[in-house]
Amino acid sequence: MADALSRAAEGLRAYGLIVAMWVRSTMAYRASFLMMAAGNFAATALDFVAILIMFSHVRTLGGFSLPEVAFLYGTTSTSFGLADLLLGNMDKVGRRVRDGTLDTLLVRPVPVLAQVAADRFALRRLGRISQGVLLLGWSLMRLDIHWTPVRLLLVPLMLVSGAAIFGAVFVAGAAFQFKADDAAEVQNAFTYGGTTLLQYPPTLFATDLVRGVTFVVPIAFVNWVPALRVLGRENPLGLPPWADFASPLVAVVCCALAGLAWRAGLRSYRSTGS
């Protein structure tokens, strides 16, 4: 146990060092960084502009008002943005397998996961997080929520758990690329697709789809399940009340499974030899 903990600490330390190096490198071109961060902000903001245009035609979407949708949007964007910032470059694993540069990472005395996750760390992704946080703040000001300590606690809890769940998806997707090194785009369906899905109220979607993202790929725990409690709405699947607090548990299980998948993927790796 102590051994595993010290290895995890060592991995985190290495991750921090590599990230710091990339941040210094990014800051060498400060104007370029600011432009890319603004672009990252605008790219996600346009998604919300589309939602605003929708709401210029209707008062509610699936029974949800604009501030309520903004709450869903802000929570998932913030969670996804955090995961994307910390682990978003893991979809490059397939390319490293193809061109053989993964071998270089294997001979270094640092966990491969830490190296791959920190590789080309893209600080510009703060743009997405800040857009999510701004919208979340705006929605909290506009919403008339009866705040109880429980609801107040649920908001930060779902942001952190949501980031961990999306992080697990990134790691699992990267592990899958050991099997199919060209299939990087599959994980976009779960990462970008997932956050797009969670921006909208669950009432819009077919029950089977909601069941699928609750029980099979449990991204519903990123925000839908806990957010419905905060907004004082019924869960469309009729989940028991304790499920509203299950996000951290789901996140831990997802991370453990993703870790196992990553180990299995890395063990199955055969170098191209070229």
Is 27 a binding residue for another protein by CB under 8 A? The answer is no
Task: Note whether 132 and 188 are within 8 A (CB).
Answer: no
DSSP 108: S
DSSP 217: S
Is 32 a binding residue for another protein by CB under 8 A? The answer is yes
Distances (CA, A) of 4 to 1, 8, 147, 169, 229: 5, 6, 40, 22, 37
Distances (CA, A) of 46 to 43, 51, 60: 6, 9, 20
Is 186 a binding residue for another protein by CB under 8 A? The answer is yes
Nearest distance from C-beta of residue 58 to another protein, angstroms? 4
Give the chain's largest Cα–Cα span.
62
List the one residue from 57, 146, 267, 270 that touches another protein (CB under 8 A): 57
Task: Note whether 63 and 232 are within 8 A (CB).
Answer: no
Is 234 a binding residue for another protein by CB under 8 A? The answer is no
Quick one: which segment of 3-11, 42-50, 242-250, 261-269 binds another protein (CB under 8 A)? 42-50
Mask for 96-135, x = binds another protein (CB under 8 A): --xx------------------------------------
Distance (Å, whole) CA 170 – CA 117: 10
Is 30 a binding residue for another protein by CB under 8 A? The answer is no
Q: Footprint of another protein on residues 238-267 (CB under 8 A)? A: none
Mask for 202-221, x = binds another protein (CB under 8 A): --xxx--x------------
Distances (CA, A) of 114 to 28, 138, 145, 179, 198: 24, 35, 40, 20, 28
Strands (E), 187-240: none
Distant-in-sequence, close-in-space partners of 20: CB < 8 Å, separation ≥ 6: none
Is 196 a binding residue for another protein by CB under 8 A? The answer is yes
In the complex with another protein, the residue whose CB is nearer, 27 or 180, is: 180
In the complex with another protein, the residue whose CB is nearer, 185 or 234, is: 185
In the complex with another protein, the residue whose CB is nearer, 11 or 162, is: 162
CA angle 16, 159, 141 (to 5 degrees): 125
Nearest distance from C-beta of residue 187 to another protein, angstroms? 9
Quick one: which segment of 44-52, 103-111, 155-163, 258-266 binds another protein (CB under 8 A)? 44-52
- List residues binding another protein (CB under 8 A): 29, 32, 35-36, 39, 42-43, 46-47, 49-50, 53-54, 56-58, 60-62, 98-99, 180-186, 188-189, 193, 196-197, 200, 204-206, 209
